[in-house]
Amino acid sequence: MEKVRVLLVDDEPSFTRMLKLNLEKRGFTVMVENNGAYAYTVAQDFMPDFIFLDVIMPDVDGGEVAAKLRRDPNFKDTPIVFLTAGVSREATKAKGNIIGGQQYLAKPVTVDEVVATIEKVMKKKTKATPASPRG
């Protein structure tokens, strides 16, 4: 089975470095971008199956990156999950991890939770579009 390609966009290099190490250990192919302004270009090159976006970033924030990606038909259906440090985990549970129609994870989060989120979202996507091949 082909490895799931995950793009991590977060302005905190140590965060993306640690998450990358963990996800690669769990069998994912991971690309990291620490500048929101370059996220779209990196996505075009990398063609991820799944994108984690930090919400608060200098220059270009997660919301703007997501909007730009969604305008591109190539990423119209690519799952995007936001990673935020601005919401409590209680609120995350209460709101079903969804704010404004977007799914998110509240930092700090365990690797198990990150992996479970990827698997759950990918499973849902496969069910919704069974015939749609990646890329």
Partner 1 sequence: MATPRVEPLAREVPIDEVRSRLEAILEISNDGILVVSLDGTILAWNRAAEQIYGYRADQIVGKPLTTLVPPDRLHELSEIYPGVARGGVIDQFETVRVRRDGVHIEVSLSIMPIRDRNGRVTSALIIMRDITAAQLALQEAAQSSEKLSDRERMLKRALVALRESHERAKSAQLQLVQAAKLESIGRLAAGVAHEVKNPLAVILFAVDYLAESIPNPDGNIQVALTDAREAVGRADSVIRGLLDFSTATELSPSEQDVNKLVRRSLQLVRHSLTKSHVFAVEEMEEGLPSAMLDRNKIEQVFVNLMINAIDAMPTGGTLIVRTRRDRLTVMGSDVGVRKTDRFQVGQSVIVVEIEDTGTGIDETARPRLFDPFFTTKPPGKGTGLGLAVCKTIVALHGGTIRIGNKEGGGGARATVVLHGIRSKEGQSDGEGAGPTRR
| Residues between 64 and 93 with contacts to partner 1, criterion CB under 8 A | 85-91
DSSP 8-state code for residue 3: P
Helices (H) and strands (E) in the chain, counts: 5, 6
Q: For the CB of residue 59, give the shortest distance to partner 1 in the complex, in Å.
A: 16
The single residue among 42, 60, 109, 122 that binds partner 1, judged by CB under 8 A, is 109
User: Which range touches partner 1 (CB under 8 A), out of 15-23, 34-42, 64-72, 125-133?
Assistant: 15-23
User: Which range touches partner 1 (CB under 8 A), out of 1-9, 11-19, 65-73, 119-127?
Assistant: 11-19
Q: How many residues bind partner 1 (CB under 8 A)?
A: 24
**CA distances to 1, 7, 50, 67, 73 from 28, in Å:** 11, 10, 10, 25, 24
